[in-house]
Structure 1
């Protein structure tokens, strides 16, 4: 669009009333402009809806993987074409939010209510659940109006949005005295560690996290210190029917802190591999760490009862060995 209008990057930045660095990062593909930014570009350059759509399809032509079905995607293009804050925009937002076929990682489709319910951990206090669900609904509503259909299917964006909303709510309740900047840092670092679980090489250190997230190392160190002290692991933990934890349970896939989850993964890697390893980690974390009934774990992960029990049987000895080794390493010399 900038080249089409024969503008230099500084001229384009001034025309859009954004910083020059923002234009540079967009064009270097370091960050994706929000849909609000893209609409601003469209309106500021007096581009037609057709030209705007063609430009987006060209620019993101190599990024368009796992897109929505054509009829669903067309609804998002209709929404993009509306005027911001118009009645048409709100009507289409509501239509998409309420009728979109939300899909879980297992491939099952869910209604909006089911999708929101699944995004909130089971251990969340019932008295808080409705409030959190409302916040997730509003976040998904906003996400619809900011979704670029060329960047993938909306259910992925919705899942990230729901998870982020629950995560932010959890940390706001857990650390009410933190200022908003510190709390955002904690959420950012926690999310990074969550993504890092499936990558071999051990727990990342402060410089690595800071470089990856473009954060001040001192801020990363502070966030890590705040995140320390998560729940522990009991290999023989019984299922706690009807138990209640925090007012809002830890939303990170019912997991403990990053170090514990990575320890579990490393303990199981000799016993499981590939997709089986990921499933085994989930079963262990949910059943052994948080004491969720095995029936709930089976339902959440869509497993056969015999398969889930086989995973637990294989995992027990590997976990006992790993935990014993960890205790030996932490035992003072000469004790």
Structure 2
């Protein structure tokens, strides 16, 4: 099971090469994608130490037995295994997002305990396509349409990798079946209460119209490429226009800001908000502030003043933009979710995520 023509092993092999990581933690559930990750990793017999963890969200009675089955398989392959339980009260709404947050927190904590510097999950091209569709439905900017990245930072000194992001789920199911590897299917992945499951139910109809997982994944790759160029342009532009801070404020050269392409100007203000300690804000509100108020005021040499993300954003007649913390408001309520401009690099969750 180490043939060079095996697409599953070929996708995984670069992640297990010597020097890639000191210790690798495999995030494995009972599903076919995860079980392929487990057995393929063991088959390649890397020099780097491997460990296995299964997150039990405590949401299904069968989950404990499934985690135990993964443990037996891992032990049989000579790999240490741990069950990471998500304990405590579960939210009445936003359950899957909360489950995703808990999963990555548990994996991060366990990786730290092991001294692991790389966590591998088994997200597939189908997961990527569903993520892109969910972002599209939510009105995301191109950064969101870039979907999941093959690799990103999970915590300082810890990377998250997705070696199967270029493979369709069917390939992994077929691989497990050909190897006689048992797997389970999480019923929550077909639960119509969740947006990801609803999109999965219409995948065949979308594919018949040409909106295949391959094309959606290609869209994500193109959006990621463009997003990286915009990130670089934004960093360089912001470095040029930052003015010396005064009294804890962030100050920008508004004349330079007004000459930027709008996509870059939006991102510069977004980063400036982050530097100034702003809280969550929606992309639509950022666009309304920057495109409809701030840039026109700067181009006309008129002062302006607005609030966004807990900050006062103002421009004077000389073209200096200032961001400073606004006085706290009574009964302000919770902060809005973070802007979708830069894109959430995690997939919208479903319980069966590896």
Q: TM-score, normalised by structure 1?
A: 0.31
Which is richer in helix? 1
Compare relative contact order (CA 8 Å, sep 6+) and give the higher one, 1 or 2: 2
